[in-house]
Each structure stands twice: as structure tokens, then as C-alpha cells.
Amino acid sequence: MEIEIKKENSIRRRLYRVLRKTGVNKECISLNASFSNDFNFDKIDWTIFTYFLEGIFNISVNDDELNKFGNVNDTLHYLKIALN
């Protein structure tokens, strides 16, 4: 159980790093933050976000999966499954 918590915290820290590289202010990041409403992501932001997400996590995210990311928690949930 403790290992799972450490793993989730590691994933969350790396996801927050991706968001900061995308230009999101650290103070704005929360699990419930919406990409469209809170971060005002446009097409360019999504491209940058995807680039850093795939690079930092060494994964490939297809457009169908990316379209399901409504908020930070959705992305965290996806990453926990993708990285197992």
C-alpha cells in the first residue's frame, strides 16, 4: 500500500512538472482543475502538453485518449493505468 502511494505521488509530481512546462502557474494546479476552463488550453497548449507528457512519462497517448482528459485528475487516472 505504501509503495502504491509513493508511486502515485511520483506520477502526480511528474504530471505537475508537465503542466508547469506547458505554462500553467503552480498555484493554479489542482486535481479538479479543468484544462479548458481553468487552464484555457488551446490547440497549441495541448500539443505542448502532449509532447512533454509523452517525453517525461515515456508513453504514447493517442488523440482519442487525450480527448478524455477533462481535468488533471482524469490525466492522473490515465497515467496510473498506462504505467502499470
Give the count of beta carbons closer than 10 Å to the beta carbon of residue 56.
Answer: 13
Kindly state the percentage of the chain with pLDDT values over 70.
99
Q: How much is the pLDDT for 7?
A: 87
Cell of 64: 482519442
Residue 33 pLDDT exceeds 90: yes
Q: At 46, is the secondary structure helix, strand, or coil?
A: helix
In angstroms, the first-to-last Cα distance of the chain is 15
**Among 12-16, 62-66, 69-73, whose mean pLDDT is lowest?**
62-66
Rounded mean pLDDT, 38-44? 95
Mean pLDDT of all residues belonging to the chain: 94
- What is the reported pTM? 0.91
Q: How many domains does the chain have?
A: 1
Number of H helices, E strands in the chain: 4, 0
Query: What are the pLDDT digits (tens) for 9-18?
Result: 999 999 999 9
